[in-house]
Amino acid sequence: MNAVYGPSLARRATSTIGTIALVTLWAVAQGVRVVLFAILALFEPIVRWVLSWSALACFLTCAFYALASPAGLKFPYVLGLSLGTGCAVLLALYEMLVRALEP
């Protein structure tokens, strides 16, 4: 009788060990996710303020130099607009990451 049921018991033991390993891995991943969310949520007001004001400052600086500078001034408008746009996109990605990690 053991010869018939032996392989199925071995598969069941392997399946149980695999299930325990997956549950343990899932629990560790959830713990890391919650800790990461707590850190990101803690710094969210600071990151939002810094990135928002940086983007606004870049856009306003480009607008100021475009309107008030003499004709011969070589100001890197593309760099300023790219930096402002990059700050805005980075803020959007940060908010998406926080929303994805929230419990």
| Region 37-57 average pLDDT | 96
pLDDT, position 47: 96
Residues 6+ apart with CB under 8 A from 56: 84
Tokens of 14: 């392997």
Residue 2 has pLDDT above 70, yes or no: no
Distances (CA, A) of 9 to 1, 3, 6, 43: 12, 11, 5, 51
Q: What is the count of structural domains for the chain?
A: 1
Return the SS3 of 69: coil
What was the pLDDT predicted at 70?
Answer: 82
**Residue 7: per-residue pLDDT:** 57
pTM: 0.74
Domain span at residue 91 reads: 2-101
Alpha helices in the chain (DSSP H): 2-68, 77-101
pLDDT in tens, 24-46: 999 999 999 999 999 999 999 99
pLDDT, residue 8, reads 57
